[in-house]
């Protein structure tokens, strides 16, 4: 029975559910490069190049196994440039008895699939690359096990056995986060990172992307991402050996000009399927067992994948499509142009947007406590900042981006993901980075032209959102401080904030970019 097996660009995993019963004698695997997927948000050029090159290499690997692959390239003149159009054309070409696909990562594509009328049966299979299926998360929610990430994570540790000893957590505690908040010593040099030189296929894709998506944000080169499973495994080896031991200590640190520190840089590979979450966690756990990495590093790392990554996916599928629509803090400001240009005297913002432009990457604390914190404090409309995060990172897919931005950063979900907003003043950034030393502003100054904007914007945010946030017990400390603040100081905070906000330029409305 001839089956057409559609593999999407973030499903580049050999043992994907849609390929599990593949019969090379009669089946056809379909991969399609379509402009709609590059344009539904204006993806960073490097993200498009990464994914197209990874798709082309995946097709080559399948063909090397003797599998028939129908691969539609972006510059094919007959390309209709949508999943729906290309699947319909492929069904007409191959007249299969059925079509099989693994469930997509995004609600948008899931909706698309519900409307597919192919003239033959369509089998949409669960994506079993995650530890927690959509159904299992829903069942856990019913049993009240997904209220907070920490309890979900403990349940996942028990279920999978990662870092468990005698029914309890390895090292005697579930979470070593308090040990993972060191700033980087002044002369400390993080390890040099393994990057991958583009081969002929990637170079061809880089030229294609440079031509077709010239107006999109971001630099195409230097391009250093792995685009094959073999190289992604090398990237994982490098992380486990050279970076994991220091990952815990410096997980929250930031340093100007140091784009990667001890982070793994594997999220693009995990999210497109070149690596699996199971093998990554297993490698990390082995490093602990052989004494090559300390518990605070390994637990901290596994928590991000087994905990946060699974939790945000669960929330996304449990709460969509309504999840994207809430706006708990009624934030309405247009995204300032500086998110696209990086042009700002705020050194922390300029550095985080700079690394984003150079690599389609920024690490978690840069995303959460710098660009995210700023968007929260100035009240950017959730949909606009969500689109930015979805466009600019090589690892961005809505299932993981949306809960992180809508929930964790913007608190637009009213606390489904996190119990309070991660709002912070300049003191946090000063403590965790060296950004402030070369900045035009001073993190110790609270008001006036020299003051760090995060300082007055932080209090202004609390004042403006007092009705919504002050009843939250986890916000009581800052609101007690605020209640003791003299009226004149509050008025000055409002004046400094208004002046600063009036100076922000919005992007051109027709493109959404400056």
Binding site for ligand DLZ (CB under 6 A): 8-10, 32-34, 37-38, 43, 48, 51, 104-106, 109, 397
Contacts of 459 (CB under 8 A, 6+ apart): 425, 482, 485, 490, 493
Closest distance of CB 165 from ligand FAD, Å: 23
Least Cβ distance, residue 444 to ligand SF4 (angstroms): 9
CA distance 456 to 492: 9
| Cα distance between residue 74 and residue 71, in whole Å | 10
Looking at the Cβ atoms of 374 and 458, the one nearer to ligand FAD is 374
C-beta closer to ligand SF4: residue 259 or 430: 430
Q: What is the dihedral of CA 120, 317, 85, 60, to 10 degrees?
A: -90
Both structure tokens of 483: 């209640």
Rounded to a whole number of angstroms, the minimum distance from the CB of residue 405 to ligand FAD is: 5
Whether the Cβ atoms of residue 79 and residue 72 lie closer than 8 Å to each other: yes
- Tokens 């309070």 correspond to what residue? 420
How distant, in Å, are the alpha carbons of 73, 220, 441, 480 from that of 55? 10, 18, 45, 54
Residue 426 engages ligand SF4 in binding (rule: CB under 6 A): yes
Q: What's the min distance (Å) between Cβ of 65 and ligand FAD?
A: 28
Min dist. Cβ of residue 61 to ligand DLZ (A): 16
Separation of alpha carbons 378 and 358, rounded Å:
25
461 binds ligand SF4 (CB under 6 A): no
Q: Which CB sits closer to ligand FAD, 146 or 404?
A: 404
CB 120 within 8 A of CB 99: yes
Per-residue binding letters, 258-277, with ligand FAD (x by CB under 6 A): -----xxxxx--xx------
Indicate whether 457 belongs to the interface with ligand SF4 (CB under 6 A).
Answer: no
Site membership for ligand SF4, residue 436 (CB under 6 A): yes
Q: Which is nearer to ligand SF4, 91 or 346 (CB)?
A: 346
Nearest approach in angstroms of CB 368 to ligand FAD is: 4
417 binds, among ligand DLZ, ligand SF4, ligand FAD, none (CB under 5 to 8 A by kind): none
Give the span between the Cα atoms of 357 and 45, in whole angstroms: 9
Residue 430 binds ligand SF4 (CB under 6 A): yes
SS3 content of the chain, % helix, strand, coil (to 5): 50, 5, 40
Q: Does 435 bind ligand SF4 (CB under 6 A)?
A: yes
> Residue 388: which H helix or E strand, with range?
helix 382-392
- DSSP summary character for residue 98: E
Nearest to 400 by CA among 51, 106, 16: 106
Nearer to ligand FAD, 368 or 429 (CB): 368
Query: How far apart are the C-alpha atoms of 384 and 337, rounded to whole Å?
Result: 12
Closest approach, Cβ 347 to ligand DLZ, in A, equals 31
Q: How far is CA 399 from CA 199, 312, 383, in A?
A: 31, 7, 15
Which string of x and - marks every residue 334-363 that binds ligand FAD (by CB under 6 A)?
-----------------------------x
Other Cβ atoms less than 10 A from the Cβ of 142: the count is 9
Task: Measure the CA–CA gap between 500 and 514, rounded to whole angstroms.
Answer: 19
Interface region with ligand SF4, contact rule CB under 6 A, candidates 94-102, 244-252, 422-430, 505-513: 422-430
- Asked if residue 396 binds ligand FAD (CB under 6 A), the reply is yes
Q: Does 339 bind ligand SF4 (CB under 6 A)?
A: no
Q: Output the smallest distance, CB 476 to ligand SF4, in A.
A: 25
Tally the residues of the chain: 514
List interacting residues with ligand FAD (CB under 6 A): 263-267, 270-271, 301, 304-305, 308-309, 312, 363-364, 367-368, 372, 389, 393, 395-396, 400-401, 404-405, 408-409
List interacting residues with ligand SF4 (CB under 6 A): 346-348, 426, 429-430, 435-436, 439, 441, 443, 452-454
């Amino acid at each position: 029975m001839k089956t057409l097996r559609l593999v999407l660009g973030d499903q580049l995993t050999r043992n994907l559910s849609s390929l599990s019963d593949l019969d090379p004698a009669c089946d056809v695997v379909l991969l399609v490069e379509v402009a709609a997927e590059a344009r539904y948000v204006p993806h960073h050029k490097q993200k498009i190049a990464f994914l197209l090159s990874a798709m082309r290499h995946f097709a080559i690997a399948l063909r090397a196994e003797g599998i028939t692959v129908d691969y539609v390239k972006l510059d094919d003149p007959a390309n209709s440039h949508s999943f729906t159009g290309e699947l319909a054309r492929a069904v007409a070409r191959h007249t299969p008895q059925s079509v099989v696909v693994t469930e997509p990562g995004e609600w948008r594509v899931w909706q698309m699939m519900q409307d597919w009328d192919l003239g033959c049966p369509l089998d949409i299979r669960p994506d079993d690359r995650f530890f927690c299926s959509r159904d299992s998360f829903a069942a856990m929610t019913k049993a009240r096990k997904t209220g907070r990430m920490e309890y979900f994570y403990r349940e996942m540790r028990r279920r999978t056995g990662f870092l468990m000893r005698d029914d309890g957590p390895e090292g005697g505690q579930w979470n070593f986060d308090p040990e993972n908040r060191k700033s980087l010593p002044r002369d400390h040099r993080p390890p040099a990172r393994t990057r991958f030189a583009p081969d002929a296929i990637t170079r061809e894709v880089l030229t294609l992307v440079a031509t077709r998506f010239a107006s999109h944000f971001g630099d195409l080169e230097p391009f250093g991402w792995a685009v094959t499973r073999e190289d992604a495994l090398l990237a994982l080896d490098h992380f486990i050996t050279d970076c994991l031991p220091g990952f815990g200590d410096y997980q929250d640190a930031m340093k100007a000009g140091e784009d990667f520190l001890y982070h793994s840089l594997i999220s693009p590979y995990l999210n497109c399927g070149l690596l699996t979450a199971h093998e990554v966690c297993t490698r990390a756990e082995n490093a602990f067992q052989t004494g090559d990495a300390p518990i605070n590093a390994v637990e901290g790392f596994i928590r991000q994948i087994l905990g946060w990554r699974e939790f945000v996916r669960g929330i996304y599928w449990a709460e969509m499509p309504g999840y994207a629509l809430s706006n708990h803090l009624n934030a309405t400001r247009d995204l300032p142009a500086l998110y696209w240009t990086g042009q700002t005297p705020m050194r922390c913002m300029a550095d985080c947007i700079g690394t984003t432009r150079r690599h389609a990457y920024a690490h978690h604390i840069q995303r959460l406590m710098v660009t995210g914190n700023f968007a929260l404090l100035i009240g950017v409309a959730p949909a606009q900042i969500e689109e930015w995060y979805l466009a600019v990172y090589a690892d961005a897919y809505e299932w993981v981006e949306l809960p992180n931005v809508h929930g964790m950063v913007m608190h637009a979900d009213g606390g489904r993901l996190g119990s309070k907003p991660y709002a912070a003043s300049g003191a946090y950034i000063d403590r965790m980075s060296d950004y402030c030393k070369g900045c035009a502003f001073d993190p110790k100054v609270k008001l006036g032209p020299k003051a760090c904007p995060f300082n007055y914007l932080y209090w202004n945010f609390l004042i403006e959102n007092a009705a919504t946030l002050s009843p939250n017990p986890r916000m009581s400390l800052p609101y007690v401080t605020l209640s003791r603040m003299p009226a004149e100081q509050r008025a000055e905070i409002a004046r400094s904030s208004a002046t600063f906000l009036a100076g922000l330029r919005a992007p051109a409305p027709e493109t959404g970019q400056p």
